[in-house]
Every structure is written in structure tokens, then in C-alpha cells.
Amino acid sequence: MECTSSVYLPTFHMGSSIFLWLFLIFSVIFSPVSAKHSVTWTYGVNYGRIANNLPQPESVVTLLKAAKINHIRIYDADHGVLQAFKGSGIEIIIGLPNEYLKEISIGEDRAMNWVQENVQAFLPDTRIRGIAVGNEILGGTTIELWEVLLPAAKNVYSALYRLGLQHTVEVSSPHSEAVFANSFPPSACIFRPDVAPFMKPLLEFFSQIGSPFYINAYPFLAYKNDPQHIDINYALFKDNRGIYDAKTKLHYDNMFEAQVDAAYAALDKAGFNKMQVIVSETGWASHGDPDEAGANVKNARTYNRNLRKLLGKKKGTPFRPKMVIKAYVFALFNENLKPGPTSERNFGLFKPDGSIAYDVGFTGLVPSAAPPSILVSFKEIAGQGWLRWSYLLVSTAWAVVLL
């Protein structure tokens, strides 16, 4: 619920501009406006933690605030993380890990216990705004999980509904590009024949409850797998000839938007042309094995900087120009314990000490240059009570006016 406060302001001829300035400061600091009703967001980050050298979650909150990142995804429901984000205002999508799907799919009571312990217990102070049920299940190699994904998602939603949280917490499930039979050109994209029987009922359920389609879109992986036929500039948002989709008569100058529109095309063919696509993961590795083409710091910086610029425009894709693109970058930190090729451990935007891994426009943890006598910390305000500080600000404003 959005809360607002109104204060009657008498009009003055002397010092009115100063009074108004002070009042605006007062309003910004103390008006509890919900982030759910704020300006449309477009940029989020995945906070993975498969590492042994990462900062404590409390420090991560400080880092995210310094970088002005207000939307994150995590891959579990770690209570230490959720507690650390209490009162931060940062919106979080938590994960129901793949290993829990079978158990949650069995009955609503198990889903209810999980939701009560990992969601309801932290609301509203920790802004949990979504539950990702599994990760990259359909199209993966564990076929038995394909069958339990929908029942698990339904049971999680049912638990939220019974708790009155269905409008606060979204239920979704992110997919990899492996769910598609082909994605070039974008208009030709369809779901794999073996995936479609599982995907369509899942989409029907998500359509009923108003959930978007989440896709993990990585131009890096596409380029790495076929560097001879993919223009690196096309993958990095740099100047290039692009591609032309003859069916839609649309031109694409970057692979990221082409991948998003490919997902829209597949949804259209499946009968879900009103469903929004959100990119749950995208990024570029800053280091890789000798056979991992394009994995270096220069390309990682270029991709992530240009992606941030694109998302900052808050525009749609060529195929869906009115549907603003939203994406979560992978990842916040390098994760030194992740298995697989070297690239898997080198997607981070930041180093564990909070400094930037490379420059994409963030500052990291930079101390404020303002004198402490001028700035009033939020911690101090909270400790001494907002009424006292509001009285001080209003009193100061009246003093200025009377002068």
C-alpha cells in the first residue's frame, strides 16, 4: 500500500523558496513511498553466492545502494541475506532451488510451510517481490523435473493466495535458450517439440496469474559457440551491419534485442502474444579458457556498459516497441567455487572488496566527500526518532521565513 502525507503550507513572500526547499527535503526523507509504485525499473542484478570470498550480505546492501541498484535476484531463500536486506527498499526475487521441486509439487502443505518460513516471515520489511520456481528446468537434462515444475509452481501460488500475498509476490520460472528449437531470424523462433507439451500448460498458468516469461539471454554464449559466423560487434552493441528479419521487416543492430524478440515470437506462436518477456540473466565473462572466444575484460566492459545504456533508455524492442525491456545482469560478483569452464567464475561486475571489476558506470563503495557536520545519516535519524528530526527541519524552515 502506498502511503502519502499532506501538510498545509501557508504562502510567504520572504524566504518562501528556502522554506519550500527545506520542505521538499523533509518530504523526500520521510514520505514512505512504495518502490512498487515508483518509476518503471529496467536494470537489476543477480546476486549469486557460490564462492568463499564474498562480503557479508550487510556489506552487499551498502554496495547496491551506492551503485543505485534496487532490484536483485538470488538463487535461494537464505535467511541471512533476507534479514540483511530488511528495510533496504531493494526488491528481491528469491529462488526455490531445483532440488526442492519434487517435494513442493507433492502437496500444498509443503509449499505452505516453505512460503511461511521463507517469504511471509520476512515481509513486509524485506521486499520479496517474486519467487523463481526452479531455474532452467525445461530443456534441461533432468527430465523428471519437467513433470513436477508446473505442480510446484501451482502449489507455491496457492500458498501465497491463501496467505493473501498473491498480489505482492510473483510466481515465475526462468528458462534458458535451450527451450527453443531455433531463434534465427527472431520471427522464426518456436519452442522445441519435446518442450512444448510442458511449456504450454505452464504458460497458461502464468498467463492466468499475470506472470511474465523469464529468459536467460546470453549473446556471449552464442558468440562463444560460433565466433566464425557471428559478428562480435553485433554481440557487443557496437556499430555493425546487423541483421534483417524478412518476415517482420525489422532490422536488428544487436543480438540482445534479437534474442528477446525471438522469445516474443515463440510466445506468439504458442498463443501468448500479450505475455511480457523479462531477461532473468544476461552478461559477459571477463575471463575464460583458451577455447572460450571473446571472454576478456574489454568485451565484458563493452557489453555491460552498452547494455546499461540500452536499458536506461526504457524503450521496447523492434518487435515490441511499447514493452519496456527489463533485465537482470549476471552477476554481482565473480563466484570462485562455481563448476564448469573458467568463464562461469568470471561474470562479476564487482570485486569482493566492493570496488568495480571494470568500469561500466558504477562507482562502487566510495566514501562521501560531504562534511559529516552537514550530512545527517539515516541511521542517526532512525536512532533518535523521525519526529524529532521532522520538528527540527520544520523549525529551521520557520526560522528562515521569519528572518
50-84 tens-digit pLDDT: 999 999 999 999 999 999 999 999 999 999 999 99
The whole-number average pLDDT for the span 307-321 is: 97
Q: How confident is the model at residue 306 (pLDDT cuts 50, 70, 90)?
A: very high
Q: Convert the pLDDT of each residue in 100-116 to its tens digit.
A: 999 999 989 999 999 99
- Mean pLDDT, the chain, as a whole number? 85
Q: Where are the domains of the chain?
A: 38-221+256-350
pLDDT at 210 over 90: yes
Q: Convert the pLDDT of each residue in 249-279 to its tens digit.
A: 999 999 999 999 999 999 999 999 999 999 9
pLDDT at 367 over 70: no
pLDDT at 31 over 50: no
pLDDT score for 400 = 35
The whole-number average pLDDT for the span 12-40 is: 40
Q: Convert the pLDDT of each residue in 337-355 to its tens digit.
A: 999 999 999 999 999 888 9
pLDDT at 95 over 80: yes
Q: Convert the pLDDT of each residue in 135-174 to its tens digit.
A: 999 999 999 999 999 999 999 999 999 999 999 999 999 9
pLDDT score for 39 = 54
pLDDT at 193 over 70: yes
List the catalytic residues. Answer: 136, 281
Calculate what percentage of the chain has a pLDDT beyond 70.
Answer: 81
> Which amino acid appears at position 361 of this protein?
G
The whole-number average pLDDT for the span 352-360 is: 91
pLDDT at 384 over 70: no
pLDDT score for 363 = 81
In contact, 357 and 349? CB cutoff 8 Å: yes
- For the chain, the distance separating the N- and C-terminal CA atoms, rounded to the nearest angstrom, is 40
pLDDT score for 354 = 87
pLDDT at 202 over 60: yes
pLDDT score for 88 = 98
What lies within 8 Å, CB to CB, of 149 at 6+ separation is 101, 105, 133, 134, 137, 138, 173, 198, 202
pLDDT at 21 over 60: no
Residue with cell 524478440: 261
pLDDT at 372 over 80: no
The whole-number average pLDDT for the span 313-327 is: 97
The architecture in CATH of the region 38-221+256-350 reads Alpha-Beta Barrel (3.20)
pLDDT score for 369 = 35
